[in-house]
Structure formats: structure tokens, C-alpha cells
Chain A
Amino acid sequence: MIAVVRRVLVALVVLWGVATVVFFIVRAAPGDPATALLGPDADAGQVAALRESMGLNRPLVGQYAAYLGDLVTLDLGSSHRLGRPAIDAVAERLPATVELTLAATLIAVVAGLVLGALAGRRAGSVWDRLVSTATIGLQSFPTFWVGIMFILLFALTLGVLPSAGAGTPAHLVLPAVTLALPFTAIVARLTRSSMADTLTESYILTARAKGLTERQVLTGHVLRNSLVPVVTIVALQMGALMGGAVVVENVFAWPGLGSLIVDAIGNRDYAVVQAATLVIATIVVALNLLVDLAYRAIDPRIRTGDRA
């Protein structure tokens, strides 16, 4: 229980760190956000008024304090370009990103586990080499390019799937598969090495010595024990997946947070950049926390606190 509280506290500290980093990156931006927002034709009075309302006149420490205060009340500032709270814009786009990442995770986990298990059953086998090499390929092809090639093939040439936008399940297929490819490789490689590691454990020898069939050893001991690290790292990699989504969304004009962030950067709409980044970071941190707690539930050594 105490361990759980401690984990939550650490997660909060991490979030605070993220918020701080985001704050200072945005403040370090060249140019004056107020000028950028109003355009070169605005007069000095207008700029000064906007600066005042954006709190840009206060000292940096004061701005930082106010920013943190706002964060606690979930006030992430408002977008002057969109003329509404940044959090609203983010909330509007969030479901699309969640949909995309969940679909990609599902594809990647299923495909990755199958491939990884095939490779990990016998290290050094033909399957193992095949999967190992294939996964390097999957990880190496840039998603934005693969996405474009998918569009070229499935949308423009074959005409079987839509090339951009969202709405129908068909719209989800290309972005989700594109996003899932490198992630599939990660899951497969992890599963493979985890299984190979587990197979060297003495208790596998014990299980064989009991007279269990190879299949029983695999299901009863190998799979279960190798999945624990896989699940953990897969969840940790969800952050990378959300990062990848930012890129993929832009390829397929998917109306999620990724397109929002890139648009906002182009328009120097820092409130939105800040809000979207923080929301993604929060999701990642929350996921990590959940995994950590789930890990406790799976691995008795940690649950009972006998091993750090």
C-alpha cells in the first residue's frame, strides 16, 4: 500500500517535471508570441494589451508560479488563435488519437506476440532468424514514408481504402497498420528475447524433469514468466507509440492531437502546444503508473515487497 502511494507521488513529480520542461521550452521560443499572434500590422497598444492579458510582462518566476497554479486547477491557458481554452481543442482531438493508438496497440501486440513466440521457442532456428531480420526491417522503415506508400498503393492505385481523414472503420486501417509496424517489431523482439531468457532458467529444467510435455512447459512456465517483462516494456513503449502517432496523423490527415500540435507549432499557438504535450505526457505517465501497479499484481516477488 505504501509502495503504491510512493509510486503515485513519483508519478506526480514526473508530471511536474514535464510541465516545467514544457514551460521553459515555450518561453525560450524566439520572437514575441503576442506579436506573432497579432501579425506585423498590429500597433504597439494592441500588442501591449495582449502581452498583459497573456501575463508576459510578469517576471519569469512569477509566470512559472502562475502557470503551475493554473495547472493545478486544470487551466491550461487559452488559444488566442482559436479563441477558446486550449484544453477544449485538445479534448476535441483526443478521442481520435486514443482510437488510433489503441487500434495500433492491438494490432502490434497480437502480431508481435505471435511473431516473437515463434522466434523465441527455439533460439537460432530458421523462424528465429527470419523474425529477427524482419523486425529490424519493420523498425527501420520510416512510418511517414510507409504511410505514403500505403496511400499510393491502397488508395491511389488499388482504390480500396481511403487515403485521408477519419470517420469509418476503413479510414482507421491504413493509419493504424502504419503506426503498428514498428511497434510490432518491438513487441516481437521483446517477446523473443524474454522467452529465450526464460528458457535458460533452472526452473524450466525442473519442469522438464517433472515429466511435463514440451507444450506444458511452454504454457505453464515459459509463456507466463516471459510475458511479465513484455507487458511492462510494451506499456512503457506506449509513450513512443503516441509520439509515432503525431507523425502518422499528419500523413493521413487524422484529426488527432498530432495534427493539432503540428498545426499549433506552425501558428505559434503555444497554449495549444503546451496543453497537448502535457495531456500526452499525463497519459503516458498514468499508463506507466498503471503498469507498475499491474506488475506488482503479476509478480509475487514485488507484491510482497521482498525484492526491490
Chain B
Amino acid sequence: MAPNSTAPRVAGASADPGESSPDAGLRVRELTVDLRVDGRLRRVVDGITFAVAPRGTLGIIGESGSGKSVTALALLDLLPESAHIGGEIRWRGEDLVRASAARRRRIRGREIAMVFQDPLAALNPTRPVGRQIGEILRRGGMRRAQVGERVVELMTMAGIPDPTSRRRAYPHQLSGGLRQRVVIAMALAGEPSLLLADEPTTALDVTVQARILGLLGSIRAEAGLAMILVSHDLRVVSHVTDEVAVMYAGRLAEYGPTRDVLRHPRHPYTQALIQSVPAVHSRSALTRPLPGTPVGPANRPAGCAFHPRCPLAIDRCAVEQPAWRPVPPGRWVACHRAEEVGA
């Protein structure tokens, strides 16, 4: 694990100085997740640190096995009981890792809500969507008539046309885009302050994706939500978020304002990712791709996890895990040769 002598000064705090008190928003420090895989505990998320200010947006980007989805599930305490979470998850100053299970459950949905990737799988096929949207309202003791009104309101907010009749529809009767809107309406039902969206548009068509991203943007602005967008798609993250955390093999490679990171990546992996994204609106030549495949927690090599694929790797990289260090202005990186990247 990266030995961090100083508490990382988190870039998110500087984005909105007015609300940068340590008790606001979400601050994750040195988060580790050990999951039981084939009977063995494996460190799937290894010491990651980031923060999301109130109304802030963070993108977590990573390829398969990078631990980005596990991180999202860990934030909401949705991992199996055999999972072990270490470090700190401070939500409005309260450490959720040490909070009681009941307390964490009360935060789920009501303060931090989640939007999942596949809307068809995320919805119970045997119940009308309106009931699913209104479920926590009803369970919270709201009166039936009020729940109905609120459900229609939420559906309207999520841009679902004709909500009064649609709420009686079953998930399979709706298109992919509408289903994802239902899932979003469901997430909004608890009036959360932070929305955790895990690959919210990956299962959708491009045109639908554009609309859903637009919807998420406007809802965020109207309701004043903070958002974490977990995605493998750098393009989506680049359009939606102010800050980005790049994950590789369960660790953070790089973290900083999205625009800066994309323009001047400080980690060779980020740089390679950016170069791998094919452009639509301009002719881009095929670049020399990175060799090898992304590693998962099971086959993470010693030293820097990225060194076998890294064009800048030196002997040191195979031995010593790079420290998580600040790179001005407001950036963090874990690379021995960060200064030479892109140079």
C-alpha cells in the first residue's frame, strides 16, 4: 500500500471554496476493499482517496478489473457481508465504514442514491414501475394518494412522457431509455444529495445515451445534487464531470480536474487511454496501442501495477510501488515518471 505521510489535500475541496468545510460532501480516504473470490480474500480496491464536494461531479474511470464498480458498491455498503472495507468513507463528516449497518442503510437511497447500468435487470420485472419508484415513499409512511402524486412528479422530472398511465407499465413494456429514466426517477425518490451512477448509459444506444446524459445534467443542476459517474468510457466522463479519478488494477493512477487531466495526463496509462479513444468528428489515425491486457487484482504485479504495459517503465517501476503524490496545480498522481509523461 502506498505510504502516505501527509493527508492528501483533496482537489475537490478547492473547486468550490464556499462549501469546502471538511464536513461537507463525500471524502474517501485510503479506501480498501477485500472481496472473497474463490474462497480467498483479495484486495480488489487498494487505498484510494478522493472527494466530492456538494454539487460537485466526479468521474471514476477504469477498464475491467480496475475496481471502479466495487468502489461504487462499497460507498453504498452493497457488497456481500464477506467483503471487508477499510479506510474511511466520510459522508458529511460521518465515517460510514465505522457506522452501524442500520445507519448506513438509512443513508442509502435517502442521502446517497444509485443508478445502475442495466435498467432492465435493475427493475423488478413483476411490479409496475410506479410502485417501484414509490416504494421507499410508501415504506417511509407516506399516504397512498400522496405517493401517487409524488411518483408522477418524479417521473415528469425524469422526462417520462405521460407519467399517469406509464406508472402502471411493467419494465419490459418500456424502451431502454424510458427504463433508465424510471431507474433515475427511483433514485430521486429519496431526495438524495449524492447520485452514484454506475455506467448509466453503457447499455443504451448513442442517441438515447445523449438524452440520458442531458437529463442527468439538468437534474443535477435543478436539484443541486452531487454526482459520481463510474464509467469505462472516457468520452462520457469528459462531458459530464468536473473531476476525474483514473483507476487501474484497484488503485488510483491519477486524479484531478477533468479538463486538465485530459489535456495533460500525468500518468502514462491515462495518456494511453486518451489515445485509444477513437474520434468521431475528426479523422484520427490508428495509434500504436498499449500492449497487453488490463490486470485485475488477482494478477497484479509487484511495483507499479501498470509497469508491464508502460512505455516509460524503468527498473524502479517493477520494484517500488509509486507513491500517491500531489502534482500542482491540484492534481494527484501515482507514477515515478509523472514529470516526463507527455513531455
Task: How many A-B residue pairs have C-beta atoms within 8 angstroms? Tell me.
Answer: 78
Q: Tell me the chain B residues, 159-195 only, with Cβ under 8 Å from chain A.
A: 170, 172-173, 183, 186, 189-190
Partner of B109, one of A209, A304, A306: A209
Interface 1/0s, chain A 190-217, versus B by CB < 8 A?
0000000000011101111111110010
> Does the CB pair B124–A207 fall under 8 Å?
yes
Say whether, besides A211-B109, A301-B172, A304-B170, A216 and B139 are in contact (CB < 8 Å): yes
A300 at interface, CB cutoff 8 A: yes
Main secondary structure of the interface of A (DSSP, over half): helix
Whether the Cβ atoms of B106 and A300 lie closer than 8 Å is no
A210 to B138, CA, bound (A): 12
B172 adjacent to A211 (CB under 8 Å): no
Judge whether B186 and A224 touch: CB under 8 Å. Answer: no
Tell me the minimal C-beta distance from B216 to chain A in angstroms: 17
Rounded to whole angstroms, the CA-CA distance of A211 and B114 in the bound complex is 10
Q: Which of A201, A210, A221, A307 contacts B121 (CB under 8 A)? A: A201
Q: Quick one: which of A255-308 are within 8 Å of B by CB?
A: 298-301, 304, 306-307
The answer to whether A205 touches B78 (Cβ under 8 A) is yes
Given contacts A209-B109, A210-B108, A211-B190, contact A203 B170 (CB under 8 A): no
Candidate in B116, B125, B190 with the most chain A CB atoms within 10 angstroms: B125
Q: Which residues of B sit under 8 angstroms from A225, Cβ to Cβ?
A: 124-126
* B136 interfacial contact with A, CB 8 Å: yes
B26 smallest CB distance to A (angstroms): 16
B105 within 8 A of A: yes
Q: Are B76 and A209 in contact (CB under 8 A)?
A: yes
Decide: B172 and A209 in contact? CB cutoff 8 A.
Answer: no
Of B123, B128, B136, the contact of A211 (CB 8 Å cutoff): B136
A-side residues, CB < 8 A to B, are 201-203, 205-213, 216, 220-221, 224-225, 228, 298-301, 304, 306-307
- Identify 22 residue pairs between A and B in the complex whose beta-carbon atoms are under 8 Å apart, listed by A's number: A202-B122, A203-B121, A203-B123, A203-B124, A206-B123, A206-B186, A207-B135, A209-B114, A209-B116, A210-B108, A210-B113, A210-B136, A210-B189, A212-B135, A212-B139, A221-B124, A225-B124, A225-B126, A228-B126, A298-B126, A300-B125, A301-B172
Further 16 A-B residue pairs, CB within 8 A, beyond A203-B121, A209-B76, A224-B126: A202-B118, A202-B122, A205-B116, A207-B135, A208-B78, A209-B109, A209-B114, A210-B109, A210-B136, A210-B190, A211-B136, A225-B125, A298-B126, A299-B125, A301-B172, A304-B173
